[in-house]
A and B are shown apart, each in its own frame.
Chain A
Amino acid sequence: MDGNPTAATPVISVRDLHKWYSGVHALRGVSLDIPHGQALGLVGDNGAGKSTLISILSGLHQADSGEIRVDGDPVRMRGPRDAMNLGIETIYQYNSMVPTMTIARNLFIGREPLKAQVGGFGILDERRMRAESVGAIADVGLHLRSPDALVGELSGGQRQGVAIARALYFKSKVLILDEPTNHLSVKETAKVIDYVRTLSEQGMTCIFISHNLQHVFASCSRIVAMAHGEIVLDKPTGETSLDEVQNVL
């Protein structure tokens, strides 16, 4: 990074990001450095700008001004595919899986292995999709009966597990979890929090977005709070408290 060549380059570095939505100034100059392997908790009320920031980092929207660097290189993301190619994978609270499709099909949506292809279109390698999805799911400690089961038949926690397995399978560097514990039972919430902890121990960078401060404190080593489109608090989890965070929100 400019200025401090001795520190390790952050995996994501954001400088002075601005975004307007139909007249609303949703992001007002956000800057943030996220080192490799950190589990960062992003908190804030509805409309605080955290969803805006996340949708820009996952390629769904583009910032109006500001700079994003990934591993030190300035990047322009025009769509979710660009973000995925840079190793940034986003898991949404409920919309990262197609319930009417099988686990194997879901794991490879948009990145299907092909047996033969012409101009980007081709025949699916279904044998490989099945075999590798079984492996990928076992890697996150999930035991599902068959890769041919429909995702709609899985519990919310299992779905998040499959989504995390997908991110790991495609060797993502950064995992953005957008409200992953919404609508989950207590037991399944614990499981997701466990995933986040384990992943950052294994060197994966995680950005965990939640309304629920307890969940964030339980899984993250750094807390970033946003309000009115700005970062209002940025501290290691050990140096702040639920009360302090609640007060700035």
Chain B
Amino acid sequence: MRRILKKSLQKPELAATLLLVVLIVVFEYTSNGFFLSAANLRGFLGLMPETALVAVGVTLLMISGEFDLSVGSVFALMPMTMAVLMVHGWPFLLAMSAGLLLCVVIGFLNGWLTLRFEIPSFITTLGMLFMARSLTVVISGGFPPRFDLNAVPAPLFAAFVGPGGLFRASLLWFLAIALLVGFILGRTNFGNWVRATGGFLPAAQAMGIPTVRVKIAAFIICSVLAGFAGMLQVMRLGSPLPSSGEGMELQAVAAAVIGGTSLWGGIGSILGGVIGAILIRVIDNGLVLSQVDGSWFKLAVGALTILAVIGNTWLRKRGQAMKVSEH
């Protein structure tokens, strides 16, 4: 029993999960029962997959010991690239592939520049944040291109499905991808290398793990997921905006950190990042429903970030200090 308690205290996503349950109860009460209604869940579950997918990539990358501030810009650049190419007559699949390929290139550049020149990824990706955003505006020509929703299989990504049309197809995409990334991190040798690389780089190197390639792969996965999430948003809204995804990089980092991911790498879980992202959306949505001035949103997220990290650190220490009897 104590062993199970000790193990769960050391789970990185514990604090966030507890907070999530508390907040859902509170908002359900303050919104007079509207929070968990089908009408509200429809809206909530339509938005959530986009930020949560970005958080999945950022979490994986942070566990490998690196950082990506360019995800918000990539979130806008990928669908913009796709839309502009389609305006020029490219078919959907080709345009989407080109957009995702661009994400691969950006992720690779983020990783390669960081590792080749031994500079902090904070700097590399901060630079990429500006460059990718600028590119988005440049190729859009200053105003959003017309995006013919009939020429793309938008229903495949944005149609309401599920019982009573409760959620959109994007939720299924998100669940499949999050499960896959979670599986890769938790159950494969590559996941083991990611954790070792972020957990203690010299040991990973000494054991012969190709740490540079592992990190570059994590950068690429992070960028591709951000771009894919951006595409999901455009499928929902119908038009790519040069400004979409602004501020998302910090929300994604906050989600990862709230979910128990360490800023120093090695510690964290995909589930934690997802719960962190859901928490942020719950606060956004719950404050509005509770008729609180929306300007309080960032204050709440900020306080939550600090609170969750303090909670995580405390719980982990309690868990480690806890003695379990020898067999």
A residues near B, CB below 8 A? 58-60, 79-81, 84, 90, 92, 95-101, 105, 108-112, 114, 117, 121-124, 126, 143, 145-146, 148, 150, 152-153
Q: Are B200 and A100 in contact (CB under 8 A)?
A: yes
* Majority SS at the chain B contact face: helix
B206 contacts which chain A residues (CB < 8 A)? 58, 60, 80, 90, 92, 95-96
11 residue pairs of the A-B complex, CB under 8 angstroms, read A95-B202, A97-B203, A98-B203, A100-B200, A100-B267, A101-B196, A108-B192, A109-B193, A109-B203, A122-B188, A124-B189
Query: Closest residue to A92 on the B side, CB-wise?
Result: B206
CB distance from A172 to the nearest CB of B (A): 13
B3 contacts which chain A residues (CB < 8 A)? 146
Alpha-carbon distance between A28 and B189 when the two chains are bound, in angstroms: 41
Alpha-carbon distance between A210 and B82 when the two chains are bound, in angstroms: 60
B residues near A, CB below 8 A? 3, 7, 10, 187-193, 195-196, 199-200, 202-209, 262, 266-267, 320, 324, 326-327
Q: Are A122 and B199 in contact (CB under 8 A)?
A: no
Q: Are A112 and B189 in contact (CB under 8 A)?
A: yes
Q: Are A79 and B208 in contact (CB under 8 A)?
A: yes
Give the residue of B189, B204, B262 whose beta carbon is less than 8 angstroms from that of A98. B204
Q: Are B207 and A96 in contact (CB under 8 A)?
A: yes
A109 contacts which chain B residues (CB < 8 A)? 192-193, 196, 203-204, 207, 209
A79 contacts which chain B residues (CB < 8 A)? 208
Q: Are B203 and A96 in contact (CB under 8 A)?
A: yes
CB distance from B191 to the nearest CB of A (A): 8
Query: Closest residue to B321 on the A side, CB-wise?
Result: A153
Q: Are A98 and B266 in contact (CB under 8 A)?
A: yes
CB distance from B93 to the nearest CB of A (A): 25
Which among A95, A100, A123 has the greatest number of chain B C-beta atoms within 10 A? A100
Q: 10 closest A-B pairs (Cβ-Cβ)?
A: A81-B208, A95-B202, A98-B199, A100-B266, A100-B199, A112-B189, A80-B208, A110-B207, A98-B200, A109-B207
